[in-house]
């Protein structure tokens, strides 16, 4: 009976880890959509993608590409955009394709350091070329 108990514990542990990973990914996606919805009322300005990096998501087979961009509202400011990928090569291609691109971002007038690069804009420019 003891070997079956260890197997049950292992299965439960795997399910808990997967549940946490799925929950974290879902939370990030919800936050991203919420920020983009709020930003619809903000003014826009052109930004330049300065750099990007790809990192694995712990305890999953996914990868995250993070783009760093700069924009000018009274002074130069920076922001970031995060996108998830199932394959590292796709994330690397995404970063390579968008580096040095000029894209519109939205910024909060009362706090210009708070900016949003919308997913629809990124998708549009990622598919162009």
pTM: 0.75
How far apart CA 53 and CA 109 sit, in angstroms, is 28
- Residue 22 predicted with pLDDT over 70: no
Domain count, the chain: 1
Place of tokens 């590292």: 88
pLDDT above 70 for 17: no
Tokens of 93: 């291609």
User: What is the span of the domain harbouring residue 55?
Assistant: 2-127
> How far is it, in rounded angstroms, from Cα 79 to Cα 42?
15
Task: Give per-residue pLDDT as tens, 57-83.
Answer: 887 888 999 999 999 999 999 999 999
């Amino acid at each position: 009976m003891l070997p079956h108990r260890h197997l049950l514990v292992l299965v439960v542990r795997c399910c808990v880890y997967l549940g946490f990973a799925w929950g974290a990914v879902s939370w990030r996606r919800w936050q991203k959509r919420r920020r983009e919805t709020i930003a619809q009322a903000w003014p826009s300005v052109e930004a330049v993608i300065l750099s990007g990096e790809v990192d694995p998501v712990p305890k999953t087979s996914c990868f995250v590409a993070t783009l760093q961009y700069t924009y000018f509202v009274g002074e130069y400011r920076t922001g970031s955009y995060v996108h998830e990928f199932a394959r590292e090569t796709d994330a690397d291609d995404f970063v390579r394709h968008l580096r040095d691109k000029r894209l519109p971002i939205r910024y909060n007038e009362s706090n210009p350091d708070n900016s949003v690069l919308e997913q629809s804009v990124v998708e549009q420019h990622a598919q162009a070329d």
